[in-house]
Structures are given as structure tokens and as C-alpha cells.
Amino acid sequence: MLKKITFLFLIFPVFVFAQVKDYQLGSPGILKGQRYGAYYDYSDPEAVNIKVSVWGWVKYPGKYKVPDFTSVAELISYAGGPTDDSDLEHLRIYRIDDNNKQKMIMFDYNDLMWEDQLEYRHRRVPSLKPGDVLIIPGSPRLYFRDWFSISLSVFSALIQLTILILNITKSK
């Protein structure tokens, strides 16, 4: 009897822990909870594709693989569009030219929207090239509720300080 119990204790863990799970590559069971970097693939299998980056005040900043014929407006659209806090008058593209020098191209979002109606020759919307980095600058804006919350916090701190001072002076 003792041999049977010992045998069961030795064999039982083998059956429990030796179960083979049938996972497929990319199965949610394996990848659950893992996070990936901000890399988005909008490539076209029948076209030449380039890698560009979009950083700043857009919904989905990151690196993008897009077809060569993608415009800057389409790239901003792929990135989820500009946020409320973005400054659309100072868009920049950083590019490394053939001489390994960094070049900055500034343009306005209105130039993108009204490209066909531009009157000035020097105001031209740049086309994307491999390795370009599109920067959409911005800064957080405070709305009425934000200002109200800040002022209410300061006002409440001043009232508490006043009550504390009054209680200290009364006790003397």
C-alpha cells in the first residue's frame, strides 16, 4: 500500500505539470499583457515603402512605415490627427540630407489644407522622404474647469490658513 501511495505522489506531478499547451504564434494567451513600441505599419505591398516618424502633440506618435507617395496630411491622419493642445502654425520636418547635415523644414497646417491655392512660390508643402521626422509642437492648454479647479484649491488653502491663524491667536 505504501508503494502505491509513493508511486502516486511521484507520478501525479508528472501528469499535472507535463501538459502540453497548443499555442499558435501570436496567440493572445502568450502575448497577453505585453506592450509593443509605437510602430505602425501602413505599408503597401505593391509600392516602395519608407519609414518616417511623427512626434509631438498627435494622438498616436511613433514610427510609421508608409508608401512613398504618402503626403504629410495623410501621415498626420495616420497618427490620429493633432490634439487640442497642438500648435499647427509651426510644423517641422527634420531631414538628414546627402551630406549628413540635418535640415529643418518649417511649414503651416494651413499650407497642407490649401496647398493647391498657395500663391507664393517659397511656401511649398514638403514631400516625405525616408527617415523624415515630423514634429508637431504644442503645449498643454488650461480650460475654464482647469482654472476653476486651481483657483478653488488656492482659495481653500487660504481659508484653512486663516482659520488656523485665528485659532492660534484665540488660544493665547
For residue 42, the tally of other CB atoms under 10 A from its CB is 13
CA 97 to chain centre: 27
The pLDDT assigned to 117 comes to 60
CATH architecture of 34-144: Roll (3.10)
pLDDT-flagged residues of the chain (< 70): 1-37, 113-124, 172
Backbone angles phi, psi at 7, to 5 degrees: -65, -45
The pLDDT assigned to 167 comes to 92
Q: Is the pTM of this model over 0.85?
A: no
118-136 pLDDT per residue, tens: 555 555 678 899 999 999 9
- Write out the H or E segment, with its range, that includes residue 21: none
Rg (CA), the chain: 30
- Domain boundaries of the chain, sorted by first residue: 34-144
Q: Where are the beta strands (DSSP E) in 27-113?
A: 39-41, 49-56, 62-67, 91-96, 102-107
